Every structure is written in structure tokens, then in C-alpha cells.
Amino acid sequence: MHTKSLKELSSLLQGKQISAPELAQHYLQRIQASDLNAFLHVDTELTLAQAAKAQQQIDAGLAGPLTGIPIAHKDIFVTQGWRSTAGSKMLENYISPFDATVVAKLQQAGMVHLGKTNCDEFAMGSANENSAYGPVKNPWDKLAVPGGSSGGAAAAVAARLTPAATATDTGGSIRQPASLCGVTGIKPTYGRVSRYGMIAFASSLDQGGPIAQSAEDCALLLNQMTGFDARDSTSLEVADEDYTRDLNLPLAGLRIGLPREYFATGLSSDVEQAVRAALAQFEKLGATLVDISLPKTALSIPVYYIIAPAEASSNLSRFDGVRYGHRAEQYKDLAEMYKKSRAEGFGPEVQRRILVGTYVLCHGYYDAYYLQAQKIRRIIADDFRAAFAEKCDVIMGPVSPTVAWDLGDKTDDPVANYMADIFTLSTSLAGLPGMSIPCGFGQGEKNGKRPVGLQIIGNYFSESKLLGIAHQFQQVTDWHRLSPAGI
Ligand code: GLN
């Protein structure tokens, strides 16, 4: 049951071969039996109530393509009735009075909410080890990290604890955990998916998207997730579209740009091998490979790690012990209440980013760091624009320079974590859509295989094209169908 695609699940539901409550129970039992720490909150009663409602829709003949299908939400989306912690102690007992737009939309589509997935605190991280609620294990090899910050979402889909999950990507957090867990994920063009009710990290970068087993599943999910939202000031007013429309487009003539900088030193040979094999597969499908350059790739790390913390330091100032979240029990005066509440509520990585962000926004440093970073951000976007205008239709390369590393390996070294984002950050800085699809496994199997993801980056609003390209690949390969041992 749990290896089925969304389409297959939907036809079982509509053919009455299984009911929505039965399907939800099946996944709830799997979640309960799992030791991955992928879920932070599960509430059987709430889930089954939603499943019963979905079943009524099905019985009344009012079902849509996703009605009755379970989904898990990253704990960065606020949810009415369920705790929303953003992986932080600061919001340990926070229950939102409203649903995030994404959550509401998927609920309107009849999807059944299975629970909230673990993530790095306020989505800051590349390994899910910054969660205040403990790390998530990679289902392929439980000694490995699942990637971050949407580690719970990716691990849950990989272990088939849910057929689909929502996630967010600020600098790679959909693509990188999808890559490290061997599942499919897409970050849409910035502004496609409403940020309303997505607990803010870096507002000019944050973007929601789906993680699922295949590109086709992601297309079905995106159909319900995107759309203009007046409550998000950066939401784009573009017409709705059907993201499944290009799934069957042939790839003959497709020009795939390979950025030299994505195949340079730092890329481990096992990842490169799997990516090159996938590229050869695309050539067989009729695509041509073109050499391109994205010369500012290396600068994406300092640029992102200035801009994202700057925005975070401002966004997180609302957590002051007065309006939201944790408040210290004892304090002398207001200043001490702020200080103690924030020192107790935020973990070390969040504190580090608030410090960096505050520093780069200071009078005297603003021009040297923040403004300079903004200028380079523009040049990074221009490099992509030039590549798409002159050389290629899409760009491909690795998502992560290595396969998943061991739990605990980089916990004491924040910069080593930041370096792992080298191939995902520039897409985010440019606001472009990007996805990750499974394309093989790395060498050096320890406790289990470690997956490799192929990144596909497109021009603005090219989600349907990306999904079509990925779908064509998934028609002739079965990396996305493989699941970890014992699943
Ligand atoms: N790894 C990056 C960071 O730590 C990206 C996180 C994200 O996309 N949410 O900020």
C-alpha cells in the first residue's frame, strides 16, 4: 500500500478498495512503529476526523485527485489544532489560531493531515541536527543525517511513513534532504507558493513546495499548493496552471546546461558518477549537454550566509517572551526577561545567526556586508539569466557535493554545514525553481546505501517543464521506486 503513487492511491480510494480512514490508519501505524524521529506531533483523533470527512466527499462523488490521501506537514507551517514548533523550544507549546495557506489549500483538496514533521530549528540547517527535538535518522542508513532543514519530511517520504509531505526551501531545504533521502522534491519559483503561515526564516528566500516519491506526484501536489494569496505581500499574481501538462513531453532537442563550477573540486567522485550516469540517460532521451559557467557559484555561500541571517535576525525579533512562545520564569526587569527568554528558547545555531544578522545590519557594517551581498545576489541571478537566454533550457548538476554524512560528523563545525549548500544556494538567491530527483547511490556503503540526487534548475515559472523532464527520466529509470531495506 505505502509504495503506491498518489494516482494509484486515489484510484483505490475512489474504487472503494480502501477507505480514507483505513489508509490513514495504515500510515499512522507505520509512523508509530518508526524510530526515525521524523514526526514531532501525531494526533490520531484529528487525523481520523479529517479522514472521515474525506470519505464523505468520496462517497458523495465529490472527490478530487487528492481527496483522502494522507500528507504530513513540515513543522514550520502553522496548523490550527496541532502544535507548531518550527523545531524550536521557543514555540514548544504553540498552537496557531489559523492554518497556513498551504495547509488550508491541501485540506480543501481533501488531503488528510498525518502530523507535523521534524525540522531544523526555524529551518536553519543542512542536517536536521539543529532541531530542539533531536535529529532525524536517514532511513537508508540510520547512522546518517537525512539532510536539512526538511529532514523529517524527506525521511518520512523515503521510509513510506507518508505518501507526500510539505516542505520549505530557503537555501536548499527541499532539494538537499530529498537528495540525501532518495526522494523527489521541488522548490517552485519564489512567490508561487504562499508564505502566509509559514514561520518566517528569511522572507526573500523562503518558499514552500512538495516532497514525494515521484515528479508526477509532486505535480499533482503543486496543482493544489500554488496560487496568489493576498495575505502574502510577495505572492505572485500569475494565472493558475496545470503542472501535469508537460509530463509527457518528449525531451528531443532539450539543451541541458552543465555549470563547470558544479563539477569542480569539492564534488565527491561517487556523486559525480551517479550524476554523469543520469546525464547520459538524458542524452539517450534526446537531450544535448552544453557546457556553461555560473562564475559566482562560490560566492553564493558568503552571500546567502549574510542575507539569510540578516532577515532572520529581523524576523525572529518577534520571539521576545511577550507576544509568542517561551518566557523565562524568573527575571529582574524587562531587559532581563527578553535576554533570558531568548537565551533559553533559541538553540545555538539560531543564536549564531541572530548575532551574525544583527552584526551585518549594523550601522557601519551594513554597506560592507549586507549591501555588498545584495549586489552579488543580483549578479548571481544575472548569470542564470544569461545561461537561459543564450545557452540552455535547463541546468543540471548535483544537489549536494557528497552523499549523507554521519550523524554528529559536522555538528561542531557550522561552516562545514554551510559548505554542503554550495550547489543549492544560488538557485534560491536567484528565486529560480529547482528540483531533486533520485539518480543512484554513493560508494562506501556502511550501514546501508546512501542516495544521490540530481538537481534540475529551470528559468522562472518553468516548474511544469522541470517536472516533465524529471517524469521522462523516471519513466525509464527506477531509482525513485526503490525504498530502504525493510520498508
Ligand atoms: N542549509 C541552509 C541553511 O542552513 C538552507 C536551509 C533552508 O533552506 N531552510 O540556512
Ordered per-residue pLDDT tens for the chain, 487 residues: 899 999 999 999 999 999 999 999 999 999 999 999 999 999 999 999 999 999 999 999 999 999 999 999 999 999 999 999 999 999 999 999 999 999 999 999 999 999 999 999 999 999 999 999 999 999 999 999 999 999 999 999 999 999 999 999 999 999 999 999 999 999 999 999 999 999 999 999 999 999 999 999 999 999 999 999 999 999 999 998 999 999 999 999 999 999 999 999 889 999 999 999 999 999 999 999 999 999 999 999 999 999 999 999 999 999 999 988 899 999 999 999 999 999 999 999 999 999 999 999 998 999 999 999 999 999 999 999 999 999 999 999 999 999 999 999 998 888 888 999 999 999 999 999 999 999 999 987 778 899 999 999 999 999 999 999 999 999 999 999 999 988 8
Contact 171 CB / ligand 1 (< 6 Å) = yes
Contact 173 CB / ligand 1 (< 6 Å) = yes
The residue whose grid cell reads 554545514 is 417
- Tell me which residue has its CA closest to atom 4 in ligand 1: 125
- Nearest atom in ligand 1 to 169's CA: 8
CA 357 / ligand 1 centre spacing (Å): 15
What's the CA gap between 245 and 414, in Å, rounded? 41
Q: What is the DSSP string of 95-112?
A: BBSS--HHHHHHHHTT-E
- Domains of the chain are 1-487 (3.90.1300.10)
Catalytic residues: 74, 149, 173
Alpha carbon separation from 268 to 275, 310, 314, 436 (Å, rounded): 11, 31, 36, 17
Residue 145 CA, distance from chain mean position: 15
CA 328 / ligand 1 centre spacing (Å): 28
Q: What is the DSSP string of 288-312?
A: EEEEE--TTGGGHHHHHHHHHHHHH
Tell if the pTM clears 0.95, that is, is over it: yes
Residue pair 407/124 in contact by the 8 Å Cβ criterion: no
CA 136 / ligand 1 centre spacing (Å): 16
Contact 172 CB / ligand 1 (< 6 Å) = yes
Residue pair 277/440 in contact by the 8 Å Cβ criterion: yes
The three-state DSSP-derived secondary structure of 173-237 is CCHHHHHHHCCEEEECCCCCECCCCECCCCCCCCEEEEEECCHHHHHHHHHHHECCCCCCCCCCC
